[in-house]
Chain A
Amino acid sequence: MDIAFTDEDLAFRDEVRAFLDEKLNPRLREGSAQTPSVFTEPDITREWQAILNEKGWLATSWPKEDGGPGWSVVQKYLFEKECAIAGAPSVPILGLKLVGPVICRFGTPAQKAHFLPRILSGEDYWCQGYSEPGSGSDLASLKTRAERVGDKYIVNGSKIWTTHAHHANWIFALVRTNPEAKKQEGISFLLIPMEQPGVTVNPIMTMANDHEVNATFFDNAESDASNLIGEEGQGWTIAKFLLENERGGGCAAPGLLAQLDRIEDYARAEPSGVNGPMIHDAGFAQRLARLRLEAQAFEVTELRILAEMIKGRPAGPQTSLVKLVSSNLRQSIQMLSVDLFGYEGLQLPTARPLYGNMAPEPIGSNEAQVAMPTYLNGRAYTIFGGSDEVQKTIIAKQVLGL
């Protein structure tokens, strides 16, 4: 047993470090750190996307022939780890990490040639239309209807929780093309242009005052039949591929550990009001220590999965735990941050963004200013992409055989 990376991998890591050092300007760092919502806003992510695209390091989860960097799983891991430690912004993941790999895997040559370059360049900005008001955890019950009429699909229905639909010009949606077929079998994976009269996007504000999600309505919206991915009825299989593609090979722990380091730095400065800084408060120090141990153990869980992938073996059942563990750990860390800042942790600015010249002045530090909205938005981690309850049911059945 051995937990070390090879010299070659470490040389790659150093190259990534040097690149990040050079290219992460203060605006990008600030934009990334001062974002309380789950997704970073496009003005920040797109600037970073352009820098990565120029370097050829953008579409890390795409095959080389489709525009990916051709990295090994270890290189991909190390890149994500260094980005997390350096506090780099995310890239627009809906296009690059969700629909992109689907198009790479299931798209026709024409679809690839059309869509992939536009994702890389940032010309297209994507959102995801899976959930509906009546179909959340039970996604397969979705009702949005797409009817084939000539060489077009006519789409009617509504999607909800569409993250960044107000920024997007395309949506990838699960739609029902065959209402007669069994639940899953009538579903197709359709790409739909957003900029048309039949599509309406209404904002939904989060309890932290962020506009991140929307309700998206289709009223005789149109999409060319050539925008169907795969076959009619194959939507569920594709959606599952997308999910599985996202799981495994994850790299959440380094970011969580970096956040704990930041909290520790602030705790060294934050007065306890009694004796010395908060880091000397026994209760606080123990909570911090405990979360660090959990995050460190979780880092090894992620490395165990990585090791299987290096060997080309199917990832083990630990994969199913990754989302569960990371989202709960993240929420505990977010709560710790709120608690650290005392009354200052209760500020909840209504103006956005919290970076740049127009940002409202923080009460205390910048970190104190984002603590509460980050915590509030963070409640979503155990809800989206398969809630905790649903994940646990799946693990109980599929992993534990209960």
Chain B
Amino acid sequence: MNFDLDEDQSLFKATVERFVQGCDVQARLRARKLPGGLDRARWSEMAEAGLIAMAAAEADGGLGASETDCALVAQALGQGLAMEPWLECGFLPARLLAGSPHLEGVIDGSVLAAVAFAETGRRYALDAKHVQAHAGAGGTVLRGEKTFVLSGGAAELFIVSANLDGATVLYAVPRDTAGLDIKPYPIVDGSLAATITFRDVAVGEPLAASLASCIDEAMVMAIAEMVGTAHRLFDDTLAYVKAREQFGQPIGRFQVIQHRMVDAYSRVEQMQSALYRVLLVPEKERLAHICGIKALVSDDAIWTAQQAVQLHGGMGTTDDLGIGHGLKRILLLSKLFADPASAMAAYAKVA
């Protein structure tokens, strides 16, 4: 038994730590004002560092990193409060585009890919219904609408789930394809999601990957990023209650604050262990297990983030500290692919 990082893992972690250096709140607010709400230079940097390639198989020109390696990167990105949509535009597309010619541009960072999996009125359902793939003599076209396409405001390529004769399949659709109507809107982490309407959008062959299994892996990454983010908010809050003085002493001297910090510490450690469990323990019902751990970690991460806000007082409620940005990213991740209630319900059914 051993929970130490191996050499590759330490390297990945160090790479991320270098990458997130200097990514302070001011840089973040500046980047959100750029077209698409994203700093493309930093995205290229991230790609050059191999952080997208790691999620693709070696046969596909990637680095073929393990799930644990990827999760450690997700955690480090969370710990660094990175604003790059690595999970939704890096990791997930790299998995979904396995074997596709579109993969290369995604890996080298020249193409930003967004995944269109959500549909209006279908909550967290992942089978496609509202976008239909119609196969005709002249080829296949997509019709319908997707919503909550993360970073859809910035992406050049969409990976769209569609219903083809009752089955959910995936298509790669470049942004400039005729018949796409993209409406961007701002969401909680400051990025631009989009609602996309497809009007007889011509597509090629479906992708080989399965949406469901790639989403399982992405959920693990969401867990890892939440764990990292919660760690960071805990660390920042611990430093704050040691430094902030009221009534002539650091607020960390008040017993209620001490106990609250111990509660947060205990939850963060539990979250870390839950992540290791999902990574290291083989489970028969792996998907359900991932759901259960995502529900648990989401609840604890939200609690920790809310306490971080509370213990920062007025400062915690502003957009000027990483605290609020961490809370907002956690809120998004906690609902990504399933919210805590639906994830826990899925787990309880098999547990």
Contacts and interface: CB of A to CB of B under 8 A. Distances in A.
Interface of A: 131, 134-138, 141, 160-161, 204-207, 209, 213, 271-274, 281, 283-284, 338-339, 342-350, 360, 363-364, 372, 376-377, 379-380, 382-384, 387-389, 392-393
Contact of B310 (A273, A346, A372, A383): A383
Interface stretch (B15-23, B44-52, B121-129): B121-129
Interface string B322-351: 001101100110010001010001000000
B276 interface: no
A209 B339 contact: no
B186 A379 contact: no
27 contacts: A136-B314, A161-B314, A205-B320, A206-B317, A209-B319, A213-B314, A271-B121, A273-B125, A274-B125, A283-B345, A338-B331, A339-B341, A343-B123, A346-B148, A346-B188, A346-B335, A347-B187, A348-B186, A363-B195, A372-B331, A376-B317, A379-B316, A379-B317, A383-B313, A384-B314, A387-B310, A389-B257
A287 to B, nearest CB: 8
Contact of B246 (A136, A206, A342, A383): A136
The 7 lowest CB-CB distance pairs between A and B, nearest first, are A273-B123, A207-B324, A343-B148, A138-B246, A273-B122, A271-B121, A205-B319
Given A137-B246, A207-B319, 20 more contacts: A134-B245, A135-B246, A136-B246, A161-B314, A207-B317, A209-B319, A273-B123, A281-B341, A284-B341, A339-B339, A346-B332, A347-B188, A347-B193, A363-B147, A363-B185, A364-B120, A376-B328, A383-B314, A384-B314, A393-B256
B328 A274 contact: no
Given A137-B246, A207-B327, A209-B319, A342 B124 contact: yes
A141 B246 CA distance: 9
A387 B123 contact: no
Contacts of B339: 339, 342
Contact of A379 (B247, B254, B310): B310
B317 A377 contact: yes
Contacts, number: 118
Interface residues of B, number: 43
Given A161-B314, A387-B310, A389-B257, A349 B185 contact: yes
A389 B254 contact: yes
A348 B318 contact: no
B244 to A, nearest CB: 9
A300 B318 CA distance: 35
B317 A380 contact: yes
Given A343-B148, A346-B187, A392-B256, A131 B123 contact: no
B56 interface: no
A159 B319 CA distance: 19
A348 B187 contact: yes
B155 interface: no
A338 to B, nearest CB: 8
Contacts of B122: 271, 273
A342 B342 CA distance: 11
Nearest to A207: B324
Contact of A273 (B121, B317, B325, B341): B121
Nearest to B323: A207
Contact of B317 (A137, A272, A383, A388): A383
Contacts of B256: 389, 392-393
Nearest to A287: B341
B116 interface: no
B141 to A, nearest CB: 25
A298 B254 CA distance: 29
B322 to A, nearest CB: 11
A327 to B, nearest CB: 11
A388 B335 contact: no
A175 B331 CA distance: 40
Nearest to B331: A346
B306 interface: yes
B306 A271 contact: no
Nearest to B340: A339
Interface in B185-207: 185-188, 190, 193, 195
A354 to B, nearest CB: 12
B209 to A, nearest CB: 22
B285 to A, nearest CB: 19
B123 A382 contact: no
A343 B147 contact: yes
Nearest to B314: A161
Contacts of A344: 147-148
Interface string B26-50: 0000000000000000000000000
Nearest to B305: A379
Contacts of A272: 123
A343 B120 CA distance: 9
B309 interface: yes
Given A283-B345, A389-B257, A343 B319 contact: no
Interface string B41-77: 0000000000000000000000000000000000000
B118 interface: yes
Contacts of A273: 121-125
A387 B185 CA distance: 34
